[in-house]
Structure 1
Amino acid sequence: MSKKRKFYLQENETIDQCLERMAKEGYLPVRRMERPIFKEEMTNGEKKYISVGREIIFEGKMIG
């Protein structure tokens, strides 16, 4: 049975640093996902959703 875990890219962390963190914990990256982050704004009584960033998530599979 393979154990999977999600690793979230932390604020002020590079992708390489996140991958190193995964390797130190014994995980190999198998998938990368990106989710947009939206902010809700009201203008003239209308709701508008504005993209303010993205969240990067790696799915890791345990090695060994």
Structure 2
Amino acid sequence: MTKLPKKKRFEVQEGETLDDCLDRMKVEGYQVVRRVEKPLFQEIQKDGKQTFQPIGQQVIFEGRRIDS
């Protein structure tokens, strides 16, 4: 039997809800211990100036193995 790592990160995929990701974690044998949100930006060149525009966010859950 393969031993699961104690901690693992799960990124919410495109088209996946938060609940879907949490269910995927549970199926793999992990429970949430931390949630991280990172902003996503797009670089824009306007009038010779470089600016950044927010286009969304990336949600990552850190999971800890559920010990049976």
Q: TM-score, normalised by structure 1?
A: 0.95
Tell me if 1:50 matches 2:53: yes
Q: What CA distance in whole angstroms lies between the structure 1 residues aligned with 2:64 and 2:41?
A: 29
The match for 1:38 is 41
What secondary structure sits across from 1:21 in the alignment? helix
Which 4+ residue blocks in structure 1 deviate beyond 2 angstroms?
Answer: none
Q: TM-score, normalised by structure 2?
A: 0.90
The number of residue pairs the alignment matches comes to 63
Structure 2 runs not aligned, ≥5 long: none
Structure 1 runs not aligned, ≥5 long: none
Which string of whole-angstrom CA distances, capped at 9 and with x for unpartnered residues, describes residues 26-53 of structure 1? 0000000000000000001100000000
Query: What is the CA RMSD across the aligned residues, in angstroms?
Result: 1.0
Q: What CA distance in whole angstroms lies between the structure 2 residues aligned with 1:35 and 1:45?
A: 27
Q: What CA distance in whole angstroms lies between the structure 1 residues aligned with 2:19 and 2:56?
A: 19
Work out which of the residue numbers 19, 23, 39 in structure 1 matches 2:26.
23
